[in-house]
Structures are given as C-alpha cells and as structure tokens.
Amino acid sequence: MNANLDFDFIQSAQRTIELEQQAVGELKQRLSADFTLACQIILTGKGRVVVTGMGKSGHIGNKIAATLASTGTPAFFVHPGEASHGDMGMIQPEDIVIALSNSGETHEVTSLLPLLQRMGTKLISFTGNPNSTLAKAADAHIDSGVKQEACPLNLAPTSSTTCALVMGDTLAVALLEARGFSAEDFAFSHPGGALGRRLLLKVADIMHAGTEIPVVSPDTPVSKALYEITSKGLGMTTVQENGKLVGIFTDGDLRRAFDKDLDIRQLTIKDIMTVGGKFTSPNLLAAAALKQMEDNKITSLVVKEGDQVVGVLTMHNLLQAGVL
C-alpha cells in the first residue's frame, strides 16, 4: 500500500463533509411517530436508560449515554459483549435499553433480545434498516440510516455513525425541553466546570465574612479608617452605625478628597464617604453579583441580609472562585 503525498486531501475532505451534511439533512424525513414514542417511553419510565452497541456504534452509544446523563436523563453504557458475560445484571426490568446497530443484525446486540424480552424491558433501537431483527423487536425504532457512507469504499462507518450521533442528540434535547431542564440543572451535572461555578456558587460561598469585614463608624477619623482598610486588605471599608450600613469608604473616595484639596487630617469618614453604597444579597448567584459590579464599574459589594451587613464580596473573590 503506497501513500500518495500529492493526493488532493482538501477535495477528499470536502467530499466527506458534503456526504455527511446530506445524510444528516435527510434525517428530518426519517423522523416518525416512533421518535415521539421513544421520548414518551423514556419520560414515563421508572428506571434508567441503558445504551448498548458494538464497535463504532458502541463509541457513539457511549457519547449518547453521556449526553443523556448530563441533560437530566440518568443513563449509562453497557458493552453488549460484556452483557453476555455478566453485565446483564446491570440492567433491571424497569430500565429502558437503547440499542445501536446500523445493520440491525449485530450478533452481540441481537443475542440480548431474548433476555430483554423475558425481563419485559422496554427497547428503543437505532438502526439503518427498519426491517432488521433489532428494529422489529423494538418498542420504538429510530431510523438513522444513510444512503451512502462517506468512506469511498462504502464500508467504514462514517455517515452512519454521524447520523446515529445526531439522532442521539435530538433525543436528548427533546427530552431536555420536555422536562423543562434549566441551565442550573445542567450545572449540577457539571459542578467542576466553568458553567457549574457560574451557576451554582452563591455570594455567601465566597464572600468575606465575620472579622474579615472592615468596619468603621461615621465619626472615625480618616487616618484610622485607612488603617482599617489596610489591615483588612479589601481596598474599602463599610461605614456602619448601630450595625446598619450608612455608607462605604474606598480608595476612590480618598483620591476624590485629595482632588478637592481637603485636609484629610481634619476629616472624619462621614465627610467623604459614599453614602449608602452598592450592596447585594448572600443568596444571589456569584455570576449575578459579578454583573452588578461590572454594570456599576465597582470592584466590591457589601453583602446585606435584611438591615445587617454579613459580608463583603470583591472582584478578587470572584477571580479566585473561577467565576470571573
């Protein structure tokens, strides 16, 4: 087998893309009442979804199971060969099996059919042959067939696996929408990712609290307030009276005082503080607090619960938590 380094690789790639685009486009016409039935079977099922498939179909099945699991449908993959040697114990009667086989005649998959029928387990098939053994045995058959593989020999699974993957995505998305699955639900399946951090972390999880909160009274001399800011290291201090927030003092307020040629040695905080100040709730999502900071062009927020100051949130907190 001699490789041709002068081969037109771009033209080959374009042909593959065109063939797979065409195959995927034709899937719309293959959708039938069985697709709706498959969705209903899963939505009303009391068990999990078990996906199985051999070879390339197995790789696609693995991905389908992962997509279902991350979008609100508990699912996992079982290798059909291993199922015949003990792993059938992973499948329970109340589960729903999704079996993939382009031909619908893959021996390792069809050999499981008598066992599934005996258990009364619901079966959804993905095949390219509606008249195959697997398709006929299924409670719902999803036609993922193609006219031609992208492989020029029409042998290697290419267009057919792409279409099976697309049909798996259509199933997962339809179930997601029917359940009203939210972005926050998605984040619970991805707690370690950036989306999880943005949608699960609340202000209370990352704010400075307790003795870390800088506090001065309105009558505090500016020099002492500067010491409080420096010792707490947040670039600001809350100004509180009887435990209630009356204002904030930041390095920005100090610069503005210098710009006005004020003698800060003669001033107290109430003379130059920002009255009121921006604040947020400890139960607010950290991502929403970030937007509040960005909208107001500030780098910190006081956190209040009722009238009480319970924390301070800074841009550094958000950066450390991976929200920013």
pLDDT for 68-108, tens place per residue?
Answer: 998 889 999 999 999 877 788 899 999 999 999 999 999 99
Q: How confident is the model at residue 65 (pLDDT cuts 50, 70, 90)?
A: very high
> What's the CA angle centered on 93, arms 92 and 99, to 5 degrees?
80
Question: Between 67 and 223, where is the model more confident?
Answer: 67
Q: Is the pLDDT at 186 greater than 70, yes or no?
A: no
Q: Is the pLDDT at 323 greater than 60, yes or no?
A: yes
From the list 187, 177, 166, the residue with the least C-alpha distance to 43 is: 177
The CATH number of 10-181, from 3.30.1490.20, 3.40.50.1360, 3.40.50.10490, 3.30.1330.20, is 3.40.50.10490
Same fold, 10-181 and 203-320: no
- Mean of the pLDDT values across residues 239-259? 86
Burial 260-269 (b: 16+ CB within 10 A, else e): eeeebeebbb
pLDDT for 162-174, tens place per residue?
Answer: 999 999 999 999 9
Q: How far apart are CA 1 and CA 249, in angstroms?
A: 77
**Domain residue ranges of the chain, discontinuous segments joined by +:** 10-181, 203-320
CATH no., domain 203-320: 3.10.580.10
Query: Within 10 Å of residue 307's Cβ, how many Cβ atoms?
Result: 9
- Mean of the pLDDT values across residues 207-235? 91
Q: Tell me the three state secondary structure of residue 49.
A: strand
C-alpha distances in Å from residue 271, one per residue of 229, 238, 277, 279: 17, 14, 15, 21
The model's pTM: 0.66
Q: How much is the pLDDT for 137?
A: 97
Q: Tell me the three state secondary structure of residue 270.
A: helix
Contacts of 175 (CB under 8 A, 6+ apart): 39, 42, 43, 68, 71, 72, 73, 181
Q: How much is the pLDDT for 169?
A: 96
